[in-house]
Structure 1
Amino acid sequence: MRLQCEVEVRSRLLPTCGLRGRAKGAHALLSLGRQPDRPPGRGGPSAGHSVYLMVCTARDRAGARYKLKENIEQFFTKFVEEGKATVRLKEPAVDVCLSKLKENIEQFFTKFVEEGKATVRLKEPAVDVCLSKANASNLKSFLAAVRLAHRGTDVEALPLSVLVPAKTSEVEKPKTKMIITSRRDYPLTKNFPYSLEHLQASYCKLARVDMRMLCLKKLRKLDLSHNHIKKLPETIGDLVSLQELNLHNNHLETFCVALCNSTLQKSLQFLDLSQNKIKALPVQFCQLQELVHLKLDDNELIRLPFKMGQLSLLRFLSAARNKLPFLPSDFRNLSLEKLDLFGNPFEQPNPLVPSIQLKIPLTLLESAARATVNYRIPYGRHLLPSHLCEDLEVAKTCQCGNACLSCFIQTTVTMNLHYVAHTVVLVDNMGGTEAPIVCYFCSLTCYSQFLDRYLQSNR
């Protein structure tokens, strides 16, 4: 049986000599087995006496070996550094050493194994073998076998390995970061290490996302900037740990709806789509509610997502040098630290010239849809046709707070961007920090009340 994890072997005799015993943990391969030159039943010692724990590291591939039978003084949990190596019982009122527990040890055993940490204290030599960053299920099985070896269980009943020196690949620390900045260095025949957490592949002339990258389940940061990618695969959403995605300077024209409905909703915090050819983002984009930093500069955006205000955690937004004529009405619900909308051809707002799409009386469909949204009546595709559900999801909100769908009055007004952001990059070269924002009105009454307030404020 073998286990890969980080190991630190501490001698308990060093402090008695006035020496420090703490060392930095190293990636290691642990093996539970018997001596290859002394097999049981061939003149060697009995099976129980030949079970050893071997620790191989990059510095010592041959490995240090520790006898196990009746040689384990104690099993520690992750709380060993906090002095919590005992269990206090109510009945009887005693403190029991962890290594002396029987039924109770199983519960405590599972608890620390789930975090991939354990410590085994040996009697001879007087060392503590501290394990960390191990696979929880593998660690649990490994320590169970170690306990059986300690109790003298027959060798044939244990899942043992031959104690031979470890391969270099088995004791090297898993690679968590890889940076590729040229086509020449891009791996064409080898897979990416599965342990990668940060992968950058820039200036590699990639026309598509390499499917091998989508197997990296531990990936937290993916940088594919400065390539020729035209389309994103839906399976990027399977990267459950992905927090940062950089697609700066590619040839993207759309952002896939499937990504907005994927696990990225709960993980993605940084997204850079700047210097692409995107004209619009889907309504579902605002389901990426963990976004903190969003860059949309130098695209061809003619509008921002309709429900932009749903990005409640968004703090940094830049959409400079696009083709935005105005901002969506939901934009006023944002709470940003920095906002950059420089270089957009914002239209001059004119509240006195509205776009009227109001029908009097309202259609039955409009009345029913407004009531569904206003009274928060549950709905779904199991109750309504999918196109009606989509209409309800993009319902507009009047100044009075009521909803409207296809019957409304639309106009634009000026909003000072400091209303939604602490720091605002100037909108134009004239020093302005104001931009037009869309307003919707569900009835003539609401629009008339707005006009009265607007005319009074401009007298």
Structure 2
Amino acid sequence: MRLSCEVDVVNRLLPSHNVRKAKRGCHAQVSLGRKPAASASRSGSQLFLMVCTAKDRNGAKYVIKNNVSQVFAKFVSEGKATIRFKEPEQDLCLSKADPLQLKSLLSLVRAGAQGQDLDRVTLSSLAPASTKQVEKPRTELTVTSRKEYPVTSRFPASLEVLTVHSCGMKRLDPRILHLSRIHTLDLSLNALTSLPDDWGRLSCVSTLILTDNQLSEIPSALWKSQLCETIAVLDVRNNHIATIPLQICELHKLACLRLDNNGFDSLPPTIGKLTNLKELAVAQNKIKVLPAGFAQLRLENLDVSDNPFDLSVEGVTGEERLVFPTLMECVARAIRKYRIPYTEEDLFPQLFHYLAAARQCWCGNFCFTCSARYFSHVSLRHLVSNSYSASPGITTAPIEGFLCSQHCLTRFKNNPRAYWRN
């Protein structure tokens, strides 16, 4: 029985001698077994817990039977536990361990401490650990050319940061989808045209960088998987994304969004729902007007340079469309209002595409064709707390919004700069 984890040995006598613990824990291999000399006659042989580190590959051994005073396993599901020995008076603090393996080890330690028979359990021979077994797991890997790409070898399962640059990758390597500890994934400067819907175990990614690829759309897996609750930085600059989907506003933890140089002409009308967004870059696109929800953002940094803003538009248009909504409109409004989940297979095509054109009124309700449109201007300086970048001479941006009813139209005309909710 072997376990790779972080180990911190705490001597309980140090505080009584007014001595502080000098060093921190280190990576180690923890083994439970019997000495090789006693393997021939297991009955009556002593059971040991051995801790091998890079500095001590032969390992420190602790007797198990009648020598474990307590096992602290409250946080075993997080890969943490503490084993308290009677002699020597030390605590073995384990962390960063596989929860299932740790739980199994603690179960055997308890059984061995009580003198139970473990002859049917496969135990370690307590041989000295190899260098590979005690070296610290690799958490970062950077690949900058095809020659460096691990074709025949595996990606280390312990990776937390993976950077793959300039490798001409056209499809995502399936092995990357099984690196469950990754929190930063950088796949820039490749030739990716799409990403798979199945993100495997990528449930911890908070930073996703896909700049300088050939993507034509933002991967839908971002809001169809657990990534919806983890993504904080999304960078898709220098791609060919023609449309920013409405669902991107469901990434509630998104703090940094970079969409420069893609060629889209509008932002989602519900962008104001990104309450944690602090940095937004949409330079070098074809945006003429910004959605009204843009004014709800509280940004620290903003870049809207090199966009063909149309500052001449202002006022209300399409008042004649504010009639009683059709059945199609009523159904679509209900689906959006109550956030009813759906896929393309659940709805007939006309309704599915109709839902993609959702607009949000300032009252909070969604509307579609039955709506009036208004234009206004907003000061860029009032939207940011630090700095903003815009084309020369541009200090304001045009805002486009929609009104879902005659009631909202009247309220808007009475106070165009107000913001309300039902």
Query: Is TM (by shorter chain) over 0.5?
Result: yes
Structure 2 contact 321–369 (Cα < 8 Å) conserved: no
Q: What letter corresponds to residue 253 of structure 2 in structure 1?
A: E
Shift of 1:231: 1.7
Q: What letter corresponds to residue 75 of structure 1 in structure 2?
A: Q
The counterpart of 1:337, out of the listed 277, 295, 300, is 300
The residue aligned with 2:80 is: 117
Q: What letter corresponds to residue 61 of structure 1 in structure 2?
A: R
The residue aligned with 1:65 is: 61
- Indicate how the Cα distance of structure 1 residues 215 and 403 shifts in structure 2: closer, same or farther if over 3 A, else same: closer
The residue aligned with 1:225 is: 188
Distance across 1 between alignment mates of 2:333 and 2:197: 35
Distance across 1 between alignment mates of 2:144 and 2:258: 22
- Note the alpha carbon deviations across 1:251-291, whole angstroms, 9 max, x for none: 22211334332222101000111122222112222122211
- 3-state SS in 2 of match to 1:53: strand
Shift of 1:243: 0.2
- 3-state SS in 2 of match to 1:47: coil
Structure 1 contact 327–437 (Cα < 8 Å) conserved: yes
Shift of 1:366: 6.4
- 3-state SS in 2 of match to 1:161: coil
Structure 2 contact 270–359 (Cα < 8 Å) conserved: no
The residue aligned with 2:145 is: 182
- 3-state SS in 2 of match to 1:114: helix
- What is the correspondence of 1:44-83 to structure 2 with a 5 Å cutoff? 47-72=43-68, 74-77=69-72
Q: Which runs of 5+ in 1 are unaligned?
A: 78-108, 455-459
- What is the correspondence of 1:426-437 to structure 2 with a 5 Å cutoff? 426-430=389-393, 432-437=394-399
Question: Which is further off, 31-40 or 244-253?
Answer: 31-40
- Indicate how the Cα distance of structure 1 residues 436 and 66 shifts in structure 2: closer, same or farther if over 3 A, else same: same
Instruction: State the number of aligned residues.
Output: 414
Tell me whether 1:27 sits opposite 2:4 in the alignment.
Answer: no
- Note the alpha carbon deviations across 1:372-401, whole angstroms, 9 max, x for none: 489x67866599757547645754344666
The residue aligned with 1:86 is: none
Question: Which is further off, 445-454 or 158-167?
Answer: 445-454
- 3-state SS in 2 of match to 1:50: coil
Question: Which is further off, 7-16 or 255-264?
Answer: 7-16
- 3-state SS in 2 of match to 1:285: helix
Shift of 1:409: 3.0
Structure 1 contact 349–412 (Cα < 8 Å) conserved: no
Structure 1 contact 307–330 (Cα < 8 Å) conserved: yes
Structure 2 contact 313–376 (Cα < 8 Å) conserved: yes
Tell me whether 1:253 sits opposite 2:249 in the alignment.
Answer: no
The residue aligned with 1:137 is: 100
Structure 2 contact 178–200 (Cα < 8 Å) conserved: no
Distance across 2 between alignment mates of 1:23 and 1:360: 72
Structure 2 contact 332–351 (Cα < 8 Å) conserved: no
Shift of 1:446: 6.1
What percentage of residue pairs aligned between the two structures are identical?
38
- Indicate how the Cα distance of structure 1 residues 230 and 112 shifts in structure 2: closer, same or farther if over 3 A, else same: closer
Shift of 1:156: 1.6
- Indicate how the Cα distance of structure 1 residues 370 and 158 shifts in structure 2: closer, same or farther if over 3 A, else same: closer
Question: Which is further off, 396-405 or 50-59?
Answer: 396-405
- Indicate how the Cα distance of structure 1 residues 55 and 405 shifts in structure 2: closer, same or farther if over 3 A, else same: same
Q: What letter corresponds to residue 47 of structure 1 in structure 2?
A: S
- Indicate how the Cα distance of structure 1 residues 445 and 17 shifts in structure 2: closer, same or farther if over 3 A, else same: closer
Structure 2 contact 51–61 (Cα < 8 Å) conserved: yes
Tell me whether 1:39 sits opposite 2:39 in the alignment.
Answer: yes
Structure 2 contact 265–285 (Cα < 8 Å) conserved: yes
- Indicate how the Cα distance of structure 1 residues 125 and 230 shifts in structure 2: closer, same or farther if over 3 A, else same: same
TM-score by length of 2: 0.85
Distance across 2 between alignment mates of 1:398 and 1:39: 76
Shift of 1:249: 1.9
The residue aligned with 2:282 is: 319
Structure 2 contact 322–404 (Cα < 8 Å) conserved: no
Shift of 1:367: 6.9
TM-score by length of 1: 0.79
The counterpart of 1:216, out of the listed 179, 186, 192, is 179
More helix by share: 1
Distance across 2 between alignment mates of 1:273 and 1:31: 46
Distance across 2 between alignment mates of 1:312 and 1:403: 19
The residue aligned with 1:82 is: none
Structure 2 contact 278–301 (Cα < 8 Å) conserved: yes
The counterpart of 2:159, out of the listed 177, 183, 196, is 196
- 3-state SS in 1 of match to 2:100: helix
Distance across 2 between alignment mates of 1:39 and 1:450: 85
- Indicate how the Cα distance of structure 1 residues 139 and 333 shifts in structure 2: closer, same or farther if over 3 A, else same: same
Structure 2 contact 322–405 (Cα < 8 Å) conserved: no
The residue aligned with 1:440 is: 402
Distance across 2 between alignment mates of 1:371 and 1:130: 55
- Indicate how the Cα distance of structure 1 residues 210 and 389 shifts in structure 2: closer, same or farther if over 3 A, else same: closer
The residue aligned with 1:168 is: 131
Structure 1 contact 245–272 (Cα < 8 Å) conserved: yes
The residue aligned with 2:419 is: none
- What is the correspondence of 1:341-380 to structure 2 with a 5 Å cutoff? 341-351=304-314, 356=318, 358-359=320-321, 362=324, 364-365=326-327, 368=330, 372=334
Question: Which is further off, 213-222 or 223-232?
Answer: 223-232
Shift of 1:195: 0.8
Structure 1 contact 427–435 (Cα < 8 Å) conserved: no
- What is the correspondence of 1:294-313 to structure 2 with a 5 Å cutoff? 294-313=257-276
RMSD: 3.2
Structure 1 contact 178–199 (Cα < 8 Å) conserved: yes
